[in-house]
């Protein structure tokens, strides 16, 4: 009888990040191949400007290459994908801040109503009808928690890191947001 050898299992994303921390370029390329498509889609949900998305993607993967050794992973209840999204989301916020800082609105712009935020536009395109209306009526801090946890699928810990607030605050805001949504949709 011949023995059948199993092909080695592909490393998961956490293992790839650990290999990237050791300078493994092939692991970095594989991590990029696996994660770049969904990361770009998630960024586009929050920002319609392709130039900003491209900049954020580049900055994110550069940060991953440089800081892979700082990834704590499952030891603190996180995932490689969540860590990657947290980096990207922070880079996106930084990009918005840079653009806002460098942009000088024309004098006539002050009299015109403000355009909706990219996140609100993405939310309107994703969630419509009564649910979308109820979401848009939520306080911004409640809406951003729901967006991160429900639309983006982040955990409480990942949402906490993304928004820079304690986990207890995330839980409280999520509960308040759900209560307000139920009341609005009743």
Q: Determine the 3-state secondary structure of 106 from DSSP.
A: coil
pLDDT tens digits, 96-146: 888 776 655 545 444 444 544 544 444 444 445 666 777 778 888 888 888
Q: Which residues contact 174 (CB under 8 A, 6 or more apart)?
A: 145, 146, 149, 156
Q: Is residue 35 classed exposed, middle or buried when 0-12, 13-18 and 19+ CB atoms within 10 A define those classes?
A: buried
Confidence of residue 28 (pLDDT cuts 50, 70, 90): very high
Would you state the pLDDT for residue 3? 52
Select the more confidently predicted residue: 130 or 68.
68
Please tell me the predicted confidence (pLDDT) of residue 122: 46
Per-residue pLDDT, 112: 47
H helices within 103-139, ranges in order? 118-126, 129-137
Q: Does residue 37 register a pLDDT over 50?
A: yes
pLDDT higher than threshold 80 for residue 82: yes
Q: What is the dihedral of CA 127, 114, 104, 86, to 10 degrees?
A: -30
Q: Percent of the chain, pLDDT > 70?
A: 76
> Picking from 34-43, 93-102, 136-145, 170-179, which range would have the lowest pLDDT averaged per residue?
93-102
Please state, rounded to an integer, the average pLDDT across all residues of the chain.
79
pTM of the model: 0.53
Region label for 175, one of left (φ > 0), alpha (ψ between -120 and 50) or beta (otherwise) = alpha
Token pair for 67: 């800081």
């Amino acid at each position: 009888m011949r023995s059948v050898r199993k092909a080695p299992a592909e490393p998961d994303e956490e293992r790839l990040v650990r290999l990237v921390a050791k300078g493994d370029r092939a692991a970095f390329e594989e991590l990029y191949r696996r994660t770049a498509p969904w990361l770009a889609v998630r960024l586009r949900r929050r920002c319609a400007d392709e130039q900003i998305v491209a900049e954020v993607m580049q900055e994110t993967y550069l940060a991953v290459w440089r800081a892979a050794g700082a990834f704590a992973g499952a030891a603190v209840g996180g995932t490689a994908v969540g860590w990657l999204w947290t980096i990207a989301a922070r880079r996106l916020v930084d990009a918005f801040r840079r653009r806002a800082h460098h942009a000088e609105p024309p004098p006539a712009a002050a009299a015109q109503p403000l355009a909706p935020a990219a996140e609100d536009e993405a939310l309107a395109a994703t969630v419509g009808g009564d649910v979308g209306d109820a979401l848009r009526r939520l306080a911004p801090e409640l809406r951003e928690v729901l967006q991160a946890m429900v639309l983006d699928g982040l955990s409480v810990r990942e949402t906490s890191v993304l928004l820079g607030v304690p986990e207890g605050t995330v839980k409280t805001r999520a509960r308040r947001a759900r209560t307000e949504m139920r009341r609005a949709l009743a």
